[in-house]
Amino acid sequence: MFGFALEQRSIRKTADECLTCLRHPYGVNKSRTYLLLGLGTAAGALLGRLLPVVFANASGVAQGLAGLDPFAQLIQQHRTLLSVLDKMEHLTAPDWAKRRLLFLALKRTIGKHALAEENVVYPLLKTQAERHESTQKLYREHASMKIHIFELEVAIRSTDEWRDAVRALRSEIEPHAREEEQTEFPRLRELLDKKGATQLNRKIRQEEALVI
Ligand SMILES: [Fe+2]
Ligand SMILES: [Fe+2]
């Protein structure tokens, strides 16, 4: 009988301790802290992804209102790409780290550039300037460049193959950029009023901002 009473008391004590533990303010605060930390991290990540796009939108509008040619930055990127290709071709020592850095710089610039052209400029070229055939050709050339970029990465450890791949990519980019600058961009430029140019500036900056 005495033993049974002791056992009952022991069970009640353990249950009370558990309840105390559950109600303990530190336990509740800890869960809340983790939840808030999780929400804060998610919100920060979302903000980090969205803010560049919001800023790019605003800067595109500002550039358009200031009368900046919507194609100026794309043309500047052509120069940057050709200059990076020059450096890649004339690297003297087989410096893998430098090759890798130049390759990443090239890939990032091409990524931003291609996204803006394929998602904004070429659709306008096709629908507004009615350059149906030329637009398809430009898309095909971009696809071919992407294969050359893949081959360039594969060739990164072989000096001869690397140089051949750089030259092959340059032979794709150079005439393509010339055609855009001398023929296609001017056709589209002719059709744009100030409002259209501002819109185009904004959309191009927005697409570019999607590539970090
Ligand atoms: Fe292009
Ligand atoms: Fe281009």
The reply to whether 14 falls in a domain is: no
**Residue 12 domain flag:** no
Instruction: Decide if 6 is inside a domain.
Output: no
**φ, ψ of residue 87 in degrees (nearest 5):** -60, -40
Q: Which two tokens stand for residue 37?
A: 């930390």
Phi, psi of 97, deg, nearest 5:
-65, -40
In a domain, 25, yes or no: no
Q: Which pLDDT belongs to residue 67? A: 74
**Could you say which ligand is closest to the alpha carbon of residue 139?**
1
| Average pLDDT in the chain | 84
CA of 138 to the centre of ligand 1 (A): 6
* This prediction's pTM: 0.74
- Ligand number nearest CA of 177 is 2
Query: Ligand 2 centre from 173 Cα, in Å?
Result: 8
Asked if residue 9 belongs to a domain, the reply is no
In a domain, 155, yes or no: yes
Separation CA 195–CA 110 (nearest Å): 27
Q: Domain span at residue 56?
A: 40-209
Q: Report the share of the chain in percent with pLDDT over 70.
A: 73
Q: Does residue 52 fall inside a structural domain? A: yes
Domain count, the chain: 1
Between 122 and 97, whose confidence is greater? 122
Instruction: Tell me, yes or no, whether 24 lies in a domain.
Output: no
How high is the pLDDT of residue 52? Answer: 67
- DSSP, res 130: -
Distance in angstroms (rounded) separating the CA atoms of residues 193 and 171: 34
| pLDDT tens by residue, 144-184 | 999 999 999 999 988 889 999 999 999 999 999 999 999 99
Instruction: Assess whether pLDDT exceeds 80 at residue 97.
Output: yes
